[in-house]
Chain A
Amino acid sequence: KAGVTQTPRYLIKTRGQQVTLSCSPISGHRSVSWYQQTPGQGLQFLFEYFSETQRNKGNFPGRFSGRQFSNSRSEMNVSTLELGDSALYLCASSASGAGEETQYFGPGTRLLVL
Protein backbone atom coordinates (compact mmCIF):
# COMPACT_ATOMS: atom_id res chain seq x y z
CA LYS A 1 0.00 0.00 0.00
CA ALA A 2 1.11 3.54 -0.63
CA GLY A 3 1.93 5.53 2.47
CA VAL A 4 0.43 8.76 3.71
CA THR A 5 1.01 11.56 1.26
CA GLN A 6 0.96 15.28 1.92
CA THR A 7 0.92 18.10 -0.55
CA PRO A 8 2.55 20.45 -1.03
CA ARG A 9 5.82 19.52 0.67
CA TYR A 10 7.04 23.10 0.97
CA LEU A 11 5.17 26.35 1.00
CA ILE A 12 6.08 29.99 1.43
CA LYS A 13 3.37 32.49 2.28
CA THR A 14 3.20 36.02 3.62
CA ARG A 15 1.43 37.26 6.72
CA GLY A 16 -2.29 37.68 6.28
CA GLN A 17 -2.61 35.10 3.52
CA GLN A 18 -4.38 31.80 3.90
CA VAL A 19 -3.14 28.33 3.09
CA THR A 20 -4.65 24.90 2.46
CA LEU A 21 -2.71 21.72 3.08
CA SER A 22 -3.77 18.32 1.86
CA CYS A 23 -3.36 14.83 3.27
CA SER A 24 -4.17 11.52 1.60
CA PRO A 25 -4.30 8.67 4.10
CA ILE A 26 -3.36 5.08 3.49
CA SER A 27 -6.06 3.35 1.48
CA GLY A 28 -8.76 2.04 3.79
CA HIS A 29 -7.83 4.26 6.71
CA ARG A 30 -10.70 6.35 8.04
CA SER A 31 -8.99 8.43 10.72
CA VAL A 32 -6.79 11.40 9.89
CA SER A 33 -5.06 13.56 12.50
CA TRP A 34 -3.07 16.75 12.06
CA TYR A 35 -0.11 17.96 14.10
CA GLN A 36 1.99 21.11 14.14
CA GLN A 37 5.70 20.86 14.92
CA THR A 38 7.75 23.91 15.86
CA PRO A 39 11.13 24.21 17.60
CA GLY A 40 9.54 26.11 20.47
CA GLN A 41 6.32 24.19 21.12
CA GLY A 42 7.27 20.78 19.78
CA LEU A 43 4.61 18.47 18.39
CA GLN A 44 1.08 19.66 19.09
CA PHE A 45 -2.21 18.04 18.18
CA LEU A 46 -4.43 20.13 15.92
CA PHE A 47 -7.47 17.96 15.21
CA GLU A 48 -8.65 14.52 14.21
CA TYR A 49 -11.26 13.52 11.67
CA PHE A 50 -13.00 10.20 11.47
CA SER A 51 -15.58 9.39 8.81
CA GLU A 52 -15.87 13.07 7.84
CA THR A 53 -16.52 14.21 11.42
CA GLN A 54 -14.15 16.17 13.61
CA ARG A 55 -13.78 14.05 16.69
CA ASN A 56 -11.12 15.96 18.58
CA LYS A 57 -9.64 19.40 18.50
CA GLY A 58 -6.47 20.78 20.08
CA ASN A 59 -5.91 24.20 21.60
CA PHE A 60 -5.48 26.23 18.47
CA PRO A 61 -7.30 29.41 17.42
CA GLY A 62 -10.23 29.29 15.05
CA ARG A 63 -7.94 30.33 12.19
CA PHE A 64 -7.01 26.66 12.01
CA SER A 65 -9.72 24.51 10.47
CA GLY A 66 -10.00 21.26 8.65
CA ARG A 67 -12.28 18.89 6.91
CA GLN A 68 -12.40 15.34 5.69
CA PHE A 69 -13.94 14.10 2.50
CA SER A 70 -15.87 10.91 1.84
CA ASN A 71 -12.74 9.25 0.44
CA SER A 72 -10.99 10.03 3.79
CA ARG A 73 -8.67 12.62 2.26
CA SER A 74 -8.31 15.59 4.54
CA GLU A 75 -7.44 19.22 4.22
CA MET A 76 -6.46 21.76 6.79
CA ASN A 77 -6.75 25.48 6.30
CA VAL A 78 -5.03 28.31 8.11
CA SER A 79 -6.43 31.75 7.53
CA THR A 80 -4.81 35.11 8.23
CA LEU A 81 -1.36 33.61 8.56
CA GLU A 82 0.97 34.81 11.29
CA LEU A 83 4.74 34.48 11.51
CA GLY A 84 4.28 31.99 14.34
CA ASP A 85 2.41 29.63 12.03
CA SER A 86 5.71 28.72 10.39
CA ALA A 87 6.04 25.05 11.15
CA LEU A 88 6.13 21.50 9.89
CA TYR A 89 2.55 20.26 9.57
CA LEU A 90 2.19 16.51 9.84
CA CYS A 91 -0.81 14.35 9.21
CA ALA A 92 -1.27 10.80 10.37
CA SER A 93 -3.76 8.13 9.44
CA SER A 94 -4.99 4.99 11.12
CA ALA A 95 -7.48 2.34 10.21
CA SER A 96 -10.27 2.76 12.69
CA GLY A 97 -9.15 5.53 15.01
CA ALA A 98 -9.53 3.30 18.04
CA GLY A 99 -6.52 4.75 19.80
CA GLU A 100 -4.65 1.52 20.27
CA GLU A 101 -3.40 1.09 16.75
CA THR A 102 -0.41 2.33 14.84
CA GLN A 103 -0.68 5.78 13.34
CA TYR A 104 1.17 6.30 10.09
CA PHE A 105 2.62 9.73 9.49
CA GLY A 106 3.18 11.52 6.22
CA PRO A 107 6.41 13.38 5.37
CA GLY A 108 4.89 16.71 6.35
CA THR A 109 4.38 20.09 4.75
CA ARG A 110 6.90 22.71 5.76
CA LEU A 111 5.25 26.12 5.86
CA LEU A 112 7.25 29.32 6.04
CA VAL A 113 5.39 32.54 6.72
CA LEU A 114 7.23 35.74 5.85
Chain B
Amino acid sequence: SQQGEEDPQALSIQEGENATMNCSYKTSINNLQWYRQNSGRGLVHLILIRSNEREKHSGRLRVTLDTSKKSSSLLITASRAADTASYFCATVNMFSGGYNKLIFGAGTRLAVHP
Protein backbone atom coordinates (compact mmCIF):
# COMPACT_ATOMS: atom_id res chain seq x y z
CA SER B 1 0.00 0.00 0.00
CA GLN B 2 1.18 3.51 -0.68
CA GLN B 3 2.21 5.78 2.14
CA GLY B 4 0.38 8.87 1.11
CA GLU B 5 -0.51 11.42 -1.44
CA GLU B 6 1.46 13.64 -3.71
CA ASP B 7 0.12 16.77 -5.27
CA PRO B 8 -0.26 17.92 -7.83
CA GLN B 9 -0.65 14.72 -9.82
CA ALA B 10 0.57 16.58 -12.87
CA LEU B 11 2.38 19.86 -13.34
CA SER B 12 3.12 21.69 -16.58
CA ILE B 13 5.50 24.67 -16.59
CA GLN B 14 7.82 26.63 -18.87
CA GLU B 15 11.59 26.37 -18.81
CA GLY B 16 13.09 28.68 -16.24
CA GLU B 17 10.10 28.51 -13.90
CA ASN B 18 10.17 26.83 -10.51
CA ALA B 19 8.33 23.59 -9.85
CA THR B 20 6.99 22.63 -6.43
CA MET B 21 5.70 19.19 -5.58
CA ASN B 22 4.19 18.15 -2.28
CA CYS B 23 4.06 14.84 -0.50
CA SER B 24 2.12 13.72 2.55
CA TYR B 25 2.61 10.53 4.50
CA LYS B 26 0.81 8.67 7.24
CA THR B 27 3.20 7.04 9.70
CA SER B 28 6.31 7.93 11.67
CA ILE B 29 9.40 7.97 9.53
CA ASN B 30 13.17 7.86 9.84
CA ASN B 31 13.75 9.62 6.56
CA LEU B 32 12.04 10.72 3.40
CA GLN B 33 13.58 10.42 -0.03
CA TRP B 34 12.76 11.85 -3.44
CA TYR B 35 13.25 9.93 -6.67
CA ARG B 36 12.90 10.80 -10.35
CA GLN B 37 11.70 8.43 -13.05
CA ASN B 38 11.97 9.08 -16.76
CA SER B 39 9.36 7.44 -19.00
CA GLY B 40 8.81 4.21 -17.05
CA ARG B 41 12.49 3.53 -16.57
CA GLY B 42 14.41 3.00 -13.36
CA LEU B 43 14.29 5.41 -10.47
CA VAL B 44 17.07 7.87 -9.76
CA HIS B 45 17.69 8.95 -6.18
CA LEU B 46 17.62 12.73 -5.80
CA ILE B 47 17.86 13.57 -2.13
CA LEU B 48 17.32 12.13 1.36
CA ILE B 49 16.14 14.16 4.34
CA ARG B 50 16.19 12.73 7.84
CA SER B 51 13.33 13.11 10.28
CA ASN B 52 15.34 15.55 12.42
CA GLU B 53 16.11 17.81 9.45
CA ARG B 54 13.80 20.53 8.21
CA GLU B 55 15.42 21.58 4.95
CA LYS B 56 18.03 20.28 2.57
CA HIS B 57 19.53 21.55 -0.65
CA SER B 58 21.22 19.80 -3.54
CA GLY B 59 22.02 21.89 -6.60
CA ARG B 60 18.70 23.19 -7.95
CA LEU B 61 16.72 21.02 -5.55
CA ARG B 62 15.34 22.14 -2.22
CA VAL B 63 13.47 19.75 0.05
CA THR B 64 11.58 20.61 3.20
CA LEU B 65 10.16 18.27 5.79
CA ASP B 66 7.48 19.04 8.36
CA THR B 67 7.07 16.00 10.61
CA SER B 68 4.28 17.64 12.60
CA LYS B 69 2.19 17.85 9.44
CA LYS B 70 3.66 14.65 7.97
CA SER B 71 4.47 16.43 4.76
CA SER B 72 7.39 17.29 2.51
CA SER B 73 7.91 19.45 -0.52
CA LEU B 74 10.37 19.32 -3.39
CA LEU B 75 11.27 22.54 -5.16
CA ILE B 76 13.12 22.49 -8.46
CA THR B 77 14.39 25.93 -9.35
CA ALA B 78 15.07 27.26 -12.85
CA SER B 79 13.59 24.15 -14.44
CA ARG B 80 14.86 22.71 -17.71
CA ALA B 81 13.24 20.53 -20.35
CA ALA B 82 15.47 17.70 -19.10
CA ASP B 83 13.65 17.86 -15.74
CA THR B 84 10.56 16.41 -17.43
CA ALA B 85 9.87 13.21 -15.50
CA SER B 86 7.79 11.71 -12.72
CA TYR B 87 8.85 12.53 -9.20
CA PHE B 88 8.15 10.26 -6.24
CA CYS B 89 8.57 10.69 -2.54
CA ALA B 90 9.33 7.61 -0.48
CA THR B 91 9.50 7.09 3.25
CA VAL B 92 11.48 4.74 5.43
CA ASN B 93 10.25 3.61 8.82
CA MET B 94 12.97 1.62 10.53
CA PHE B 95 11.02 1.52 13.77
CA SER B 96 8.83 -1.15 12.27
CA GLY B 97 11.83 -2.96 10.83
CA GLY B 98 11.54 -1.09 7.56
CA TYR B 99 15.27 -0.80 6.90
CA ASN B 100 15.38 -0.48 3.13
CA LYS B 101 11.63 -0.77 2.62
CA LEU B 102 10.59 2.31 0.69
CA ILE B 103 6.93 3.29 0.82
CA PHE B 104 6.22 5.42 -2.23
CA GLY B 105 3.72 8.14 -2.92
CA ALA B 106 1.69 8.21 -6.11
CA GLY B 107 4.05 10.61 -7.83
CA THR B 108 3.85 13.91 -9.69
CA ARG B 109 4.27 14.04 -13.47
CA LEU B 110 6.25 17.15 -14.36
CA ALA B 111 6.36 18.49 -17.90
CA VAL B 112 8.76 21.35 -18.63
CA HIS B 113 8.17 23.04 -21.97
CA PRO B 114 10.97 24.82 -23.86
Give me the interface of A with B, judged by CB distance under 8 Å: 4, 31, 33, 35, 37, 41-45, 48, 50, 55-56, 58-59, 88, 90, 92, 94, 97-100, 102-108, 110
Contacts and interface: CB of A to CB of B under 8 A. Distances in A.
A56 B102 contact: no
Contact of A100 (B2, B48, B88, B105): B48
B98 interface: yes
Given A56-B97, A92-B43, A99 B92 contact: yes
A52 to B, nearest CB: 15
Contacts, number: 84
Given A42-B2, A43-B88, A92-B43, A33 B100 contact: yes
Contacts of B98: 56, 99
A50 B98 CA distance: 13
Given A100-B92, A107-B42, 6 more contacts: A31-B100, A43-B2, A43-B90, A50-B99, A97-B100, A100-B50
> Lowest 6 CB-CB distances: which A-B pairs, in order?
A43-B104, A105-B42, A105-B43, A107-B42, A99-B99, A102-B45
Contacts of A48: 99-101
A100 B48 CA distance: 8
B48 A88 contact: no
Interface of B: 1-2, 30-31, 33, 35, 40-45, 48, 50, 88, 90, 92, 94, 97-107
Given A90-B42, A100-B30, A105-B42, A42 B100 contact: no
Contacts of B90: 43
B57 to A, nearest CB: 17
A5 B103 CA distance: 22
29 contacts: A33-B101, A35-B102, A41-B2, A42-B106, A44-B2, A45-B101, A48-B99, A48-B100, A55-B97, A56-B99, A56-B100, A59-B1, A90-B42, A90-B43, A92-B100, A94-B100, A99-B31, A99-B100, A100-B50, A102-B48, A103-B45, A103-B100, A103-B102, A105-B43, A105-B44, A105-B45, A107-B41, A108-B42, A110-B40
